[in-house]
Structure 1
Amino acid sequence: MPNPYAAQLAEIPVVRREVALLGGTTAYWVYGDDTATTTIVAVHGFRGEHHGLDPVVAHLPGIRVISPDLPGFGETAPLVGHAHDLDTYAEWLRQFVESVAPDAVVLGHSFGSIVASAAVAGGLSTPKLILVNPIGAPALEGPRGILTRLAVFYYLAGAKLPRPVGEGLLRNGIIVRVMSNAMAKTRDPALRRFVHEQHDEYFSRFADRDVLHEAFVTSVSHDVRAFAPRIAQPTLLIAAEKDDITPIEAERHLATLFPNAELVEIPEVGHLIHYETPRAAASAIREFLA
């Protein structure tokens, strides 16, 4: 399926780089010119990797975007000797920003919104914070809480079954497609197919079942509410009106917990703003940064 954002991405230079952090090596990609006046460090969501945010990057020409793969996902190996919990991910992000792009604007999508919020609340220096599809309430209490509970058993089974069986279950293409169908809201058949193919390609690029289970437990055990009151920086929340992970009512409440936040609501989309409505997200980001 042709990438509907390929032409725009082709206009933006990109280079892959690496940096040593927490005893491991983090792979990251720099989009745009190093001389750009604005830099965003973008943190992807659970089971994803940096490619997932490409459609948003495609709509941000002129802004330098630095997009790492989280430890244990994509091309970044797990951190040896560290639990892949929120404290580790937040410390990893703090060290990443300080090493690669000090005082850059920080952006987090989905699980990345938890990591980014925890890091900023813990002292990561950034002028502004952007959260896309923020996890604004416990995932188990969302509109599809039953499916989330099933996911808990799914990831637990993947972690406890004999390794070949567990790994096969977690990378099973049919289950990945079920997840993709549950999240996609677009009725455009071409865009829907693109979303599914993106998940088919990138949703199973985790290092192993152990890091995946640790990251999943972290993702469902925390949400942004715990960190919002401690984040003084201007914050932009880009929320979806049909998000099955955090309902829009919870996102509206989340915005009130920050000392200085604004909420942009995007209609007719769910937890895949970055795939289905990247232009709207990028527009909100540009206005916020301006």
Structure 2
Amino acid sequence: MPNTLPPDWPFRGDARQVRARPHDWCVIDHGAGPTALLLHGAGASGHSFRHLIPALDGWRCIVPDLPGQGFTRAGSRTRFGIEPMAEDLATLLAQQGWQPEVVIGHSAGAALALQLSTLIPLRAVVGINAALGQFEGAAGFLFPLLARALSVTPFVPSVISRLWGTEGKIRSLLDNTGSPLDPAGVAQYLTLVKKAAHVDGTLGMMAQWRIDRLMARAPQMTVRSLLLATAGDRIVPPRVSRQAAGMLPRADVLELPGLGHLAHEEDASAVAQAITGWLAR
């Protein structure tokens, strides 16, 4: 792995750069056993699974940074939407010979996992606080519009990176998720926000994300799915998972108390037990 990762970055020794058109992916490959693909949410990177990876004992975890985010260099800024991103992930998997049985997606990563299930055979999809609903009210119109405007405005990612790249700002953002993180977790998100390219990739993803198209096809998605929701999530409340499960033919919902949006970073053991217990059943 080139020295693009900070020396103390989680699983740095298991990460490598993989060129699969059109992107230059940063991928963690850790463990042995049946393969699980882990997909992070918007604004994060594969580092967000730093506690869940070891908790999934007996699994081989493939964990890419999504295009434009973390340490994956995007080869095309037009491919940040759900459908093209899933296509590019399928290309990466095929090129490397990776055949995941399960895809575990957090937040927006869960939507990507469902889209991927229409392209490759999967045993199951697991969504952790799956972002499968629209923003409500005026936000449903204004937030995507604002993201589109910012993503095409020169220098905006650099400005945001400078303004928000402070520990205080990052702590405030993370507190709003309902998930208190340890100092190391806060520092890792600070590292990401200080990268203008990461901010640009996140804005591009928000601008091109069309969850309505995905959920319109939900009745045709026959993959077994677990939507894992947490009561303290301030970003994606549990009712979003319950509503989405009503649209998916083979979905179960499991709610965990006392955790926020970043549940897998707060209590990876509880999340892993919920996932492996459901898979065993």
Q: Please confirm whether the aligned pair reaches a TM-score higher than 0.5, indicating the same fold.
A: yes
Partner deviation per Cα, 1:45-70 (whole Å, 9 max, x = no partner): 11111110111112111111110111
Partner deviation per Cα, 1:41-97 (whole Å, 9 max, x = no partner): 111111111110111112111111110111111221012374322222111122223
The separation in 1 between residues aligned to 2:153 and 2:141, in whole angstroms, is 18
Residue 141 of structure 1 is aligned with which of 136, 141, 152?
136
| Superposition pairs of residues 1-290 of structure 1, within 5 angstroms | 15-33=14-32, 36=33, 38-80=34-76, 82-100=78-96, 101-121=98-118, 123-138=119-134, 140-141=135-136, 153=146, 156-157=149-150, 160=153, 162=155, 164-169=158-163, 171=165, 173-186=167-180, 191-205=181-195, 207=197, 209-219=199-209, 221-222=210-211, 225-290=215-280
The separation in 2 between residues aligned to 1:55 and 1:110, in whole angstroms, is 17
Partner deviation per Cα, 1:158-177 (whole Å, 9 max, x = no partner): 75364553543464554333
Matched residue SS, 1:285:
helix
Matched residue SS, 1:20:
strand
In structure 2, relative to structure 1, the CA distance for the partners of 1:174 and 1:216 (3 Å cut) is farther
Contact 2:45 2:65 in 1 (8 A): yes
In structure 2, relative to structure 1, the CA distance for the partners of 1:48 and 1:30 (3 Å cut) is same
Partner deviation per Cα, 1:96-143 (whole Å, 9 max, x = no partner): 23333124311111111111112213x2221111111101311x229x
Matched residue SS, 2:15:
strand
Moved more, 259-268 or 169-178: 169-178
The separation in 1 between residues aligned to 2:89 and 2:43, in whole angstroms, is 17
In structure 2, relative to structure 1, the CA distance for the partners of 1:17 and 1:147 (3 Å cut) is same
The separation in 1 between residues aligned to 2:140 and 2:121, in whole angstroms, is 37
The separation in 2 between residues aligned to 1:214 and 1:81, in whole angstroms, is 7
Match of 1:3 in 2: none
The separation in 2 between residues aligned to 1:244 and 1:178, in whole angstroms, is 13
In structure 2, relative to structure 1, the CA distance for the partners of 1:204 and 1:255 (3 Å cut) is farther
In structure 2, relative to structure 1, the CA distance for the partners of 1:230 and 1:27 (3 Å cut) is same
Aligned pair count reads: 268
The sequence identity of aligned pairs, in percent, is 24
How far off is 1:238 after superposition? Answer: 0.9
Contact 1:184 1:192 in 2 (8 A): no
Matched residue SS, 1:212:
helix
Contact 2:144 2:206 in 1 (8 A): no
Contact 1:14 1:32 in 2 (8 A): no
How far off is 1:208 after superposition? Answer: 5.4
Match of 1:4 in 2: none
Q: TM-score scaled by structure 2?
A: 0.82
Q: TM-score scaled by structure 1?
A: 0.79
